[in-house]
Amino acid sequence: MTLRQRIVPYLLLLPALVLLLVFNLLPTIATLVESTFVISLRSGERVFAGFANFERIFNDPIFWKSLQVTVVFSLVVNPLQIALSLGLSMLMNQRLPGIGIFRSIYLLPVAVSLNVTAIVWRLLLDKNTGMVNGILHQLGIERQPFLHSPEQALWSIILIASWIGVPLWSLFILAGLQNIPPPVLEAAKIDGANAWQSFTRVTLPLLRRVLAFVLVADTVANFLLFAPILLTTQGGPQLSTNLILYETYRRGFLYGDLGASAAMLSVMLLFVFVIVGVELYVLRGSD
């Protein structure tokens, strides 16, 4: 190989790498560094503080409460979205009359921006004038406070996130389903497999890589949910929807405590690494 041939690939990679280094990797490292600094009250200067910020957040009940909300949210929203996406994708992948129209409408929310979604659902869930309460009222059920109640707000957020999330992940699962050659499923049917058997023994194993991708991407996306919180509840009522990324925003931007905010982000980064590590492990297993 000539020198030129050896250099060409790096030249092709260079623009992307420079951009990522300057605007992605360096700022991420800066966040990690920032987590070890505090602003001195006496001089107003940034001083190195070791793990003081981490100690501070680990002793802070609001941080733990926020983590707890995030865990509860994740444990509900991820299985819910994935189960619904999978089931509905399989339904949408069948040859039924009018399925093309159903599929187009079902996937429509993917094209709607998150802030429009959040604003529209805030109106729909309004206690007095919202559509949802209008329907409940028609059915003889009492009007619900939804986003204004500490008990119901998180569930309302789950509803809003899933309105986009379920069709979004369905896109990927539908693409995966289209890659399963129909003869494979027909062969299973001829061999006497019932619908459940052909689902668990043929479809699921063939979808494993797609599902692993969707599982991890969905988990990370929901772990880092932010805009709908900012636009609807702002973490309230009573911090019941104070998901972890919103808490870092509250701490850093609203209270100006950048050290604690960076410490929380560093902890979250660790979580993301663990999730991606699991993804790599699962993907490797299926190759």
Residues 65-84 that bind another protein (CB under 8 A): none
Q: Which ranges of 125-207 would DSSP assign to H, the alpha helix?
A: 131-138, 153-178, 182-190, 195-198, 204-206
Cβ–Cβ < 8 Å for 73, 154: yes
* Beta carbon of residue 281, minimum distance to another protein (angstroms, whole number): 12
226 forms part of the interface with another protein (CB under 8 A): yes
Q: Does 107 bind another protein (CB under 8 A)?
A: yes
Q: Which span sits near another protein by CB under 8 A: 45-53, 69-77, 90-98, 146-154?
A: 90-98
List 3, 16, 41, 139, residue binding another protein (CB under 8 A): 16
Tell me how far, at minimum, the Cβ of 24 lies from another protein, in Å. Answer: 5
Instruction: Note whether 111 binds another protein by CB under 8 A.
Output: yes
User: Percentages helix, strand, coil for the chain, rounded to the nearest 5?
Assistant: 75, 0, 25
**Cα angle vertex 249, ends 244, 252, to 5°?**
120
Please tell me whether residue 46 adopts helix, strand or coil conformation.
strand
Say whether residue 19 binds another protein (CB under 8 A): yes
Among the listed residues 57, 67, 153, 174, the single contact to another protein using CB under 8 A: 174
> Which one, of 199, 215, 209, lies nearest residue 176 by Cα?
209
Number of residues near another protein (by CB under 8 A): 91
| Cα dist from 78 to 75, 86, 87, whole Å | 6, 12, 14
Contacts (CB under 8 A) with another protein, residues 249-278 = 249, 252, 258, 261-262, 265, 268-269, 272-273, 275-276
- Smallest distance from the beta carbon of 157 to another protein, in angstroms? 15
Pick between residue 61 and residue 129 the one whose CB is nearest to another protein. Answer: 129
The distance of closest approach from Cβ of residue 177 to another protein in the complex, given in angstroms and rounded to an integer, is: 8
* Identity of the residue, 61 or 201, whose beta carbon is nearer to another protein in the bound complex: 201
Give the Cα-Cα-Cα angle 206, 173, 180 (nearest 5 degrees): 35
Here the tokens at position 135 are 């329907």
Judge whether 222 and 165 are in contact, CB under 8 Å.
yes
Query: HSE-up of 83 (CA within 13 Å, CB side)?
Result: 6
**Binding status of residue 8 toward another protein by CB under 8 A:** yes
Question: What is the radius of gyration, based on Cα positions, of the chain?
Answer: 24
Report the nearest approach of another protein to the CB of residue 57 (Å): 16
Among 40, 68, 178, 197, binds another protein (CB under 8 A): 178
Residue 116 binds to another protein (criterion: CB under 8 A): yes
Our finding on whether 28 is near another protein (CB under 8 A) is yes
CA distance 215 to 176: 14
**Interactions with another protein, residue window 38-67 (CB under 8 A):** none
Please check whether residue 93 is in contact with residue 78, taking contact to mean a CB–CB distance below 8 angstroms. Answer: no
Kindly state the tokens that stand for 45.
């200067």
Binding of another protein at residue 182 (CB under 8 A)? no
Site for another protein in 138-167 (CB under 8 A): 163, 167
In the bound state with another protein, the residue whose beta carbon lies nearer, of 12 and 61, is 12
Considering beta carbons, is residue 62 or 231 the nearer one to another protein?
Answer: 231
